[in-house]
């Protein structure tokens, strides 16, 4: 494979109307529905091509699974039940249910302490 002279490449890009801009970044995170893609120590270049912006990212990739929020699993009925049984506010009951991973008995015991 033939090596490309960086100066010639820059000049050719300018002739085509492409404007590269280096961005000083320490981390890039791409959020997907089921995972986050984390790029550490990235080299980020922003390219302006025909009135559109393109980002080129080079770096060390790490994927991280996204855990569903426990708040989505907790029903209003569960919150009201814990609040009533423990004699606390609904906000305190909700927090206890989050800490107890939705376990009603454990949440009631948590807030009674």
* pLDDT at 29 exceeding the cut of 70: yes
- Domains of the chain, by residue range, sit at 17-65, 70-112
Q: What is the pLDDT, as a whole number, of residue 44?
A: 94
Side-chain-side CA neighbours of residue 56 (13 Å): 10
Instruction: Read off the pLDDT band of 20 (50, 70, 90).
Output: confident
The CATH code belonging to domain 70-112 is 1.10.8
Q: Please tell me the predicted confidence (pLDDT) of residue 36.
A: 92
pLDDT at 1 over 80: no
First to last CA, the chain: 70
Q: How confident is the model over 30-78, as pLDDT tens digits? A: 998 889 999 999 999 998 887 889 999 999 999 998 876 555 578 899 9
Pick 16 or 61 by higher pLDDT: 61
Compute how many other C-beta atoms are within 10 angstroms of the C-beta atom of residue 65: 7
Determine the pLDDT at residue 71.
Answer: 54
For strands 27-31 and 35-49, give the pairing: antiparallel
CB 46, CB 21: distance < 8 Å: yes
CATH of 17-65 among 3.30.930.10, 2.20.70.30, 2.40.50.100, 3.30.70.1400: 2.20.70.30
């Amino acid at each position: 494979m033939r090596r490309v002279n960086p100066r010639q490449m820059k000049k050719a890009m300018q002739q085509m109307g492409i404007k590269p801009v280096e961005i000083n970044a320490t981390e890039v995170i791409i959020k997907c529905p089921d995972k986050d893609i984390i790029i550490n120590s990235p080299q980020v270049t922003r390219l302006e091509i025909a009135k559109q912006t393109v980002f080129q990212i080079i770096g060390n990739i790490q994927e991280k699974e996204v855990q569903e929020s426990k708040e989505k699993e907790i029903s209003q009925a569960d919150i009201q039940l814990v609040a009533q049984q423990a004699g606390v506010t609904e906000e305190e009951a909700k927090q206890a249910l989050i800490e107890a991973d939705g376990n009603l008995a454990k949440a009631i015991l948590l807030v009674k302490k």
